[in-house]
């Protein structure tokens, strides 16, 4: 799904992450960017064939900028050394559960779920996990799911979230700040002829998690009954 020019550019950028180099190689970047956007367009079509809830969407609405915000970071390098796209209804700024596609030499991956959602959205997802706990566990602990996505992203609260019973049997499942999983991909898998099949399997496997998350986000507001 990814053409070699994307990795060639990112590899060189990693060794020359300066504004001068970037400006001198702007045509190289533009070709790599166009190639990546073409891959994202193909990926949108692939995802739509599996999950049509993403609706009509353009690559420009999904692809993240390569320019880093260095204002509050110790890392002052001006450019990201990856290209990424979040494919979901509403585009990359959407708080809904979707599909993330990350191209970076030696560190590529595909991910699904919802990453660091706003407080109200996170509360809705936790309510869905609380109210339909067995269904949620059937998804994330299924043999097929765990083979590709072994665990949820481990960024958790130390205590039970406010508004939920502390003695809930699976309280750890409510402590997550994100509900996201990822599957690493080698450069060869991303650029090889089997890339599309690998991504299709990854998308099909994570779709039930996204469906569960988005059902919670779309649900009517209900209070959690604390026993």
Write down the domain spans for the chain: 4-218
- pTM for this predicted structure: 0.92
pLDDT computed for residue 226 by the predictor: 46
Q: What is the dihedral of CA 20, 21, 25, 26, to 10 degrees?
A: -50
pLDDT computed for residue 222 by the predictor: 52
pLDDT computed for residue 108 by the predictor: 96
Measured distance CA(85)–CA(60) in Å, rounded = 9
CATH fold, domain 4-218, is BirA Bifunctional Protein; domain 2 (3.30.930)
pLDDT beneath 50: ranges in the chain = 224-227
Determine the angle formed by the axes of helices 4-15 and 26-50, rounding to 10 degrees.
130
Closest C-alpha among 3, 73, 71, 70 to residue 32: 3
DSSP H/E element including 99:
strand 98-103
In degrees, to the nearest 5, what angle opens at C-alpha 181 toward C-alphas 179 and 184?
A: 160
pLDDT computed for residue 219 by the predictor: 86
Per-residue pLDDT tens for 149-172? Answer: 999 998 999 999 999 999 999 999
């Amino acid at each position: 799904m990814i053409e070699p020019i994307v990795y060639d550019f990112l590899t060189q950028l990693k060794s020359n992450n300066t504004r001068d180099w970037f400006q001198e190689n702007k045509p190289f970047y533009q070709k790599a960017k166009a190639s990546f956007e073409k891959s994202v367009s193909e990926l949108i079509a692939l995802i739509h064939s599996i999950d049509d809830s993403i609706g009509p969407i353009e690559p420009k609405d999904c692809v993240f900028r390569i320019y880093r915000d260095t204002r509050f970071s110790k890392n002052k390098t001006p450019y990201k050394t990856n290209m990424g796209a979040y494919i979901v209804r509403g585009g990359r700024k959407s708080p809904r559960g979707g599909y993330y596609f990350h191209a970076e030499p030696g560190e590529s991956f595909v991910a699904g779920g919802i990453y660091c959602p706003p407080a109200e959205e996170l509360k809705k997802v936790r309510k869905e996990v609380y109210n339909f706990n067995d269904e949620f566990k059937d998804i994330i602990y299924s043999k097929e799911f765990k083979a590709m996505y072994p665990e949820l992203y481990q960024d958790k609260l130390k205590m039970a979230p406010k508004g939920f019973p502390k003695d809930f049997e699976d309280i750890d499942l409510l402590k997550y700040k994100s509900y996201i999983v990822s599957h690493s991909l080698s450069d060869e898998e991303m650029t090889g002829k089997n890339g599309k099949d690998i991504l299709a399997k990854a998308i099909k496997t994570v779709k039930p998690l996204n469906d569960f998350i988005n059902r919670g986000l779309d649900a009517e507001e209900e209070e959690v009954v604390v026993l």
